[in-house]
Structure 1
Amino acid sequence: MDKRYFTEEHQLFRESLQEFLKKEVVPHINKWEETGHIERFIWEKFGEMGFFGLAYPEEFGGLDLDLFYTVIFLEELQKVNSGGFAAAMWAHAYLAMTHLNAEGGQAIKEKYLAKSITGEMIGAMAVTEPFGGSDVAGMRTTAVKKGDSYIINGSKTFITNGVYSDYIVVAAKTSPELGNKGISMFVVDRDTPGVSATKLDKLGWRASDTGEIAFDNVEIPASHLMGEEGKGFPYIMQHFAFERLIMGVNAHARAEFALEYAVQYMSEREAFGQTINKFQALRHTMADCFADMEVCKEFNYSVAARLDKGEYVVKEATISKLRSTKMADEVIYQCLQMLGGYGYMEEYPMARLLRDSRLGPIGGGTSEILREIIAKMVIDKKEYKPAVKH
């Protein structure tokens, strides 16, 4: 335990979360991976334990704790070896709910945020579209004002919790002619007429319901606008730093899980009269992997500490995701190799881990886009500023 970041209370929380996951989650993981459907009861159990409320105000049932509780939550979720299950939980708790908390008015928070904290409602965030993911400003979904309503038309894709969620936080263009200055954020109930979803079949993250969502003349009350009209782009950008750090933390945690498993396996597996952890070539490969993981983890913790103090760490969080997700893929690739033929078998954890990890450099901003953002900041001296709070 690193005492610069974690207290005794943090450690106790980690232990109780580990216990909870082992008892309540792990026994169901294989079933959820096969069906692609995480059953409702587990959301309510997470809610009862307060796990969805870690970062949220007490007024709505949250616990209002520092960011390192969230770091622990993310790290331990990576260690149940289902990237899909982990994603369903953190996309609800930190993508959808972050927007509700930051931009939602009192009524929206009382209804959606409070029920998300208890696990009674499941949220999804829908920004990415079939024709453009990282190019947020190029989105085509529109929300046209009509009296006391908005009419939403368009489609979103690769949406985590896109099929089974109860509400969707949607980014849409209210003034298409203004480009990125014309985007607004809305909360849309799943059962609103005109909302439909199709489940996508994926390489990994099999437990989570990633969906393509269509909006066909979906009419929502004007009160479902979150924050100010036209401010959606800066809101999204503001939260992207947090999302990138989340994915960076996830990456170092799954790499650490893979290393612990591989090192344990190597201590038991024998070849040529000795355990394979005695062979220098394998030892040194593991040493390199361990070093790379530790460097990312240390960096991610320092970025989390700065974010927790309210610093705008868009460059650092972007670096966190870029570097950590690449590292995790490379480390897990090597760990699978250490298991030999068993690495390729589904009953051992490494095959699923390899598939699940591969989304890291793609989702939440591809590595190529992240490099361009970093280049703009370090070469072109571009400054990203937080959205002005109203």
Structure 2
Amino acid sequence: MSDLASAPHETSPADYQQLLTQALDGVTACAPATAVWRALGAAGALGLLYGSSNTLGPVADPARLGTLLRAVDARGDNGTTLSVLVQAASALPILGSGRSGRPGAAPSPVVAAFGQALAGTAQVALAATDEAAAGSDLSGLGTEVRIEGDELVVDGGKRWVTNAGTAEYLLVLGRHHPGRHFTNFSWVLVPAETAGVTVTPATSHLLANSATGHIAFDSVRLPADHRVGRNGRGMAVFARHMSTERLAGAQWAVALTSRVLADTRERLLQRTVDGEPLWHNAAVRQGFAECLVRVAQLRALCDSLAETAVKGQNLSAGAVLKSAVGLTVDTVLARCAQLQGADGFSANGAQVIRAEAGVLGIGGGVTELMLAGVADMSEQLLAELRA
């Protein structure tokens, strides 16, 4: 396949921001996430997102990734932002890891799907969380990928898969050998319309535009060329790109909390007690300022760890970022919800946004497990802090 983008670094940050603005201006506020994805792809914003690539797939440009997520978050639809984030930070890079082929050969299904996703004409759902194990126990998953002659056979099930209800392609992590060793797992590209695939919508009104659902695979048969990358490289590729997803989650967290803080400040300026705006109350200002400092700290952490995270060679970067998100987002949104009072329960109020933002403390690793990982790496982190 050709390069991801033609001379991607020739596009300045301002030009990329303008490209995103123009792409999204034509998408109505109530449009589904598929329309947002199509607009981003048609404008070339997805192709420009990946500044380079290596043997484990495309490498996102962290500044452009943050700019993309801020632009999508500004629409105020958390389900759509989640839909874009999972694809841009995880699904496409993992799918891109399987693009190699013989020069001059016809494009494989993996190459074709990757090209369609970059163009925005197809969505890809990352099907990793398994019905047979807790989300944090990927090596315990029960979904199997068997090799039978020149076919792959997929059996099992996946839960809480973002974009499951709208994606043309399902990127499925399964085991091809028993046991928990990291070489026992591979990725398979499953077209959503393949016989034996059943998608059930998740029973939740939160993050509605993320099209989250559960997927069952009943003896799903595919040609062998639907395997993504080399056999047994599934976990290695996933681990390589997990830090990028955690950076993306932190970047979204900054955008989301900043948006809610700005809305909260405006509400406090407009509501009055004895003729004075609530914003002038010293206790209110102090609580708000504490939230602002927390978000500023998270932004600084994103900036300092961005390059390390996208390179995927330092596990501590992703763990620290994910932990910081868990420690920041709910604290900030809880205070905003309190400051908004009854207004916080409105459709766009902080109470509802806080509930949807809970995904940031769960998806990709729960905060408590991330903190345990940080503790395990404490000697290394303390040495870096004292260097």
Task: Give the alignment's TM-score, normalised by structure 2.
Answer: 0.86
Alignment partners' CA distance in 1, 2:43 and 2:22:
12
Alignment match, 2:67? 72
Letter of the 2:37 counterpart: W
Alignment partners' CA distance in 2, 1:264 and 1:115:
42
Alignment partners' CA distance in 1, 2:244 and 2:33:
27
Please give the residue correspondences for 1:93-112 in structure 2 after superposition, counting only pairs within 5 Å: 93-106=88-101, 107-112=108-113
Secondary structure at the residue paired with 2:158?
Answer: strand
Moved more, 151-160 or 79-88: 79-88
Alignment partners' CA distance in 2, 1:11 and 1:263:
28
Alignment partners' CA distance in 1, 2:276 and 2:25:
33
Please give the residue correspondences for 1:75-224 in structure 2 after superposition, counting only pairs within 5 Å: 75-106=70-101, 107-130=108-131, 131-177=133-179, 179-202=181-204, 204-224=206-226
Please give the residue correspondences for 1:1-390 in structure 2 after superposition, counting only pairs within 5 Å: 9-18=12-21, 20-25=23-28, 27-28=29-30, 38=32, 40-56=34-50, 66-106=61-101, 107-130=108-131, 131-177=133-179, 179-202=181-204, 204-307=206-309, 310=311, 312-346=313-347, 348-378=348-378
CA shift at 1:110, angstroms? 3.2
Percent identity between matched residues is 22
Secondary structure at the residue paired with 1:215?
Answer: strand
Flag the 1:42–1:295 CA change in 2: closer, same or farther, 3 A. closer
Q: Deviation per CA, 1:13-63, whole angstroms, max 9, x where unpaired? A: 3345345435514x215xxxxxxxx2644432221112222334799xxx9
Q: Deviation per CA, 1:279-305, whole angstroms, max 9, x where unpaired? A: 100000011000000000011111113
Secondary structure at the residue paired with 1:219?
Answer: strand
Instruction: Please give the root-mean-square deviation of Cα atoms over the aligned residues, in Å.
Output: 2.6
Alignment partners' CA distance in 2, 1:57 and 1:237:
19
Secondary structure at the residue paired with 1:134?
Answer: coil
Secondary structure at the residue paired with 1:54?
Answer: helix
Alignment partners' CA distance in 1, 2:115 and 2:271:
50
CA shift at 1:247, angstroms? 0.9
Letter of the 2:63 counterpart: F
Flag the 1:320–1:340 CA change in 2: closer, same or farther, 3 A. same
- 1:277/1:283 contact within 8 Å kept: yes
Alignment partners' CA distance in 1, 2:269 and 2:22:
26
Alignment partners' CA distance in 2, 1:21 and 1:73:
11
Instruction: For structure 1, list consecutive stretches of 5 or more residues without a partner in the other structure.
Output: 1-5, 30-37, 382-390
Alignment partners' CA distance in 2, 1:202 and 1:21:
27
Secondary structure at the residue paired with 2:200?
Answer: strand
Alignment partners' CA distance in 2, 1:128 and 1:336:
31
Letter of the 1:344 counterpart: F
The number of residue pairs the alignment matches comes to 362
Secondary structure at the residue paired with 1:133?
Answer: coil
Flag the 1:376–1:103 CA change in 2: closer, same or farther, 3 A. farther
Moved more, 160-169 or 9-18: 9-18
